[in-house]
């Protein structure tokens, strides 16, 4: 599975961005797609995940009500709509795919994902 993340950029606080994660290759093996982010000097942080087949979603408390994860299976693409952005949302955003069948709560841990995209930078200015 190959993942290509895009859509990052510079935006003012309160603005919006939509990130895309296009999957290719053995997409039939995907169970879950997640978004993580990593700010300078900080650990990689779970943002949101979506099951590939059923569309079940889960988001971190820090982004609930502001970020929405969705998918378009016809395009093999997962989106992260980010609204009401804050300076603390500034980070490199990575999409990742996992193939194993794990309990839903396991998908908040980046080590459970076997495939990663290259990351896209989101910068929110105050």
Q: Give pLDDT, residue 53.
A: 85
The first and second tokens of residue 115, run together, are 């495939």
Angle at 82 between CA 78 and CA 87, to 5 degrees: 135
Q: What is the pLDDT of residue 100?
A: 86
Span 7-33, pLDDT tens digits: 999 999 999 999 999 999 999 899 999
Of 1, 11, 33, 36, which is closest to residue 87 (Cα–Cα)? 11
Phi, psi values for residue 43, rounded to 5°: -80, 160
Given a cut of 70, the residues of the chain with pLDDT beneath it are none
């Amino acid at each position: 599975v190959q993942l290509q993340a895009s859509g990052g950029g510079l935006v003012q606080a309160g603005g919006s961005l939509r990130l895309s994660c296009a999957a290719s290759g053995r997409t039939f093996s995907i169970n879950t797609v997640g978004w993580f982010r990593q700010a300078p000097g900080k650990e990689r942080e779970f943002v949101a995940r979506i099951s590939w087949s059923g569309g079940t979603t889960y988001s971190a408390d820090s982004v609930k009500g502001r970020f929405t994860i969705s998918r378009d299976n016809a395009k093999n693409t997962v989106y992260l709509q980010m609204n009401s952005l804050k300076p603390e949302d500034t980070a490199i955003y990575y999409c990742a795919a996992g193939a194993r069948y794990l309990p839903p709560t396991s998908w908040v841990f980046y080590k459970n994902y076997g495939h990663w995209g290259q990351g896209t930078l989101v910068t929110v200015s105050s």
